[in-house]
Chain A
Amino acid sequence: MSGGAALRTQVGQLALRSVLRTARQPAQIVPALVFPLFLLAVNTGGLDAATSIPGFPSDSYLAFALAVPFIQGGLFAVMNGGTDLARDIETGFLDRLALTPLSGIGLVVGQLAGVLAMGGLSAIFYTVVGLAAGAGLQAGPGGFLVLLALALTITLAFGALGVFAALRLGTGEAVQGLFPVLFVFLFLSSMSLPRNLIETDWFRTIATYNPVSYLIEGVRSLFITGWDAEALALAFGVAVAMSALFLAAASVSLRGRLVRT
């Protein structure tokens, strides 16, 4: 088997394992689907009056806030991808894999397949529920494909962070400890209000430097604006940059974790 074919087989088999493992853990699937929509319902009920603020970009808070579950789904990707890999480290399954001719790339990419499958499923679910609840998708059917692509890129970024964290920290508990920290990033973003309407200076400054704001705004633009090239470019740019950064970090950590000679 050639090197390329071997790598494809490795990635394919590990991806299949990752998808099967995710699909067989309802405890990973249900919270990732339900909790973000629960928070969406609470926020929409409580903050609907925000649409009457002059300059608010939408007359539907539901449509405005529908982008947030996509990012929360990403946070679950950190948890799920990271915890699964950490479990492999703790149980010695990674040693089993290390004794095969598996490449590091194959391991990382294969590991992310289940996370991406879950990310795609979540994105479809959030969109369907949002549209059923009355939100519109201003970018139309073509926008849905872009939305799916953006959701998968965001999931890849957060999933790579989970893989990096697992390889670096080595335990599922440590990976799960990241969840509240990442939630802080979410709350200190433009999740509840557009940045130009945040009146508290320090909050607006943090939200401006917080990459999560741009991810939310990219997804949000498809729901409430239509085709906003700048917002989409920024969202894809941030998601791709995060993916590259965390995949590189994961690759370095993998060398430390897989110390086979």
Chain B
Amino acid sequence: MSDAAIEAEALVKQFKKGPRAVDGIDLVVAAGEIYGFLGPNGAGKSTTVHMLTTLLPPTAGRARVAGHDVVKEGAAVRASIGAALQEAALDPYLTGREHMRLQTALHGLPKEERRRRGDALLERVGLSEAADRKVGGYSGGMKRRLDLGLALVHEPRILFLDEPTTGLDPQSRTSLWAEVERLARRDGVTVFLTTQYLEEADALAGRVGIIDNGRIVAEGTPSALKAEIGQPSVEAVPADPADRRRVEGVLERFAGDGDCPHSTEDSVAVRLAAGDAGLADVVRALDSEGIRVAHLQLHEPTLDDVFLDKTGRTLEGAGEEDGGGDVARPEAQPEAAPA
């Protein structure tokens, strides 16, 4: 294995009364990189994070974090990482400052350093004014920011963020994204970020791994993954719904080899063989056929298209199909004998 910040080889987690939550994933995350781990609920994201953060022993495979084996050198791994796991795990009866005091003390910071570091982090995550209020009265965004601050008290080189913006309003989400970007770009912290939001992975991650049913189905930079999908698609909504079949017939002429138009109740879409340049021809063809169109839109490929291409499902639909959460509790699902 190399000097990468995070490496995993054929990592597996099998639960006795559950599915193979993680099914042989390979990962390499370089130091200073923001790696987005994208997948629907139940895909295996959080189980992977729990193994990489030493909270769950793998059934098979190997992983090294900050150069340390996650099974044999758990304490060294924990000393190098910070983690904000799914759902901000905070005590509603303590204040933000009291959380900082507890966390800095448990990480062994010298007494005189604890208050200074705690205050600096509270300021960094914008909670100085709310520092002496009980966390039970914080908003979701404030809790997430405090969670992030707590993960940073021992200045970790690697940060694991497990769905850090789930349930947050757009403003809180943007603010958290900015802080995560600052950590990576300015402080050189490696960030391993799980998310089920396409735009989050797209906006933040230098590289993305897409996980489905415990396996990584695609990996690369967001732009490279989208380029793999190829051309953009055009979606047309006929002014008269009765014209839908005629629109299909027109769009079929512009589809690439093996592609055919996808119809919904209102619209027809097809991937354009000629790319963006084909849009003008589509307009002319619809016009020459005398079809009036209420709405015409060009869609660039998204990570959802990548997911659809690799799994045959949309990311949102996959989450609904899989149902349930992504977190595997060790006591709830005891480990099976190693495979």
> Which residues on A are within 8 Å of B, measured CB to CB?
1, 6, 9-10, 12-14, 16-17, 20-21, 24-25, 88, 91-93, 95-102, 170, 256-257, 259-261
Contact = CB atoms under 8 A, between A and B. Distances in A.
Given A9-B105, A259-B55, A260-B54, A100 B78 contact: yes
A88 B94 CA distance: 13
Contacts of B81: 99
B102 A99 contact: no
Contacts of B302: none
Contact of A261 (B57, B79, B93): B57
Contacts of A101: 75, 78-79, 106-108
B219 to A, nearest CB: 26
Q: Is the interface of A mostly helix, strand, loop or mixed?
A: helix
A80 to B, nearest CB: 13
Given A259-B56, A261-B54, A99 B94 contact: no
A97 B93 contact: no
A10 B109 CA distance: 11
A222 B150 CA distance: 49
Interface stretch (B21-29, B82-90, B223-231, B265-273): B82-90
A260 B78 contact: yes
A261 B98 contact: no
Interface in B144-163: 150
B54 A1 contact: no
B54 A6 contact: no
A92 B57 contact: no
Given A20-B94, A260-B74, A10 B105 contact: yes
B249 interface: no
B22 to A, nearest CB: 15
A147 B53 CA distance: 47
A101 to B, nearest CB: 6
A92 B88 CA distance: 8
Contact of A95 (B85, B94, B108): B85
A13 B106 contact: yes
B256 interface: no
Given A20-B94, A259-B57, A100 B74 contact: no
B89 A91 contact: yes
Contacts of B93: 20-21, 24-25
Contact of A257 (B72, B83, B331): B331
A17 B55 contact: no
Given A20-B93, A99-B78, 9 more contacts: A21-B94, A92-B85, A93-B90, A96-B89, A98-B55, A99-B54, A101-B78, A170-B331, A257-B330
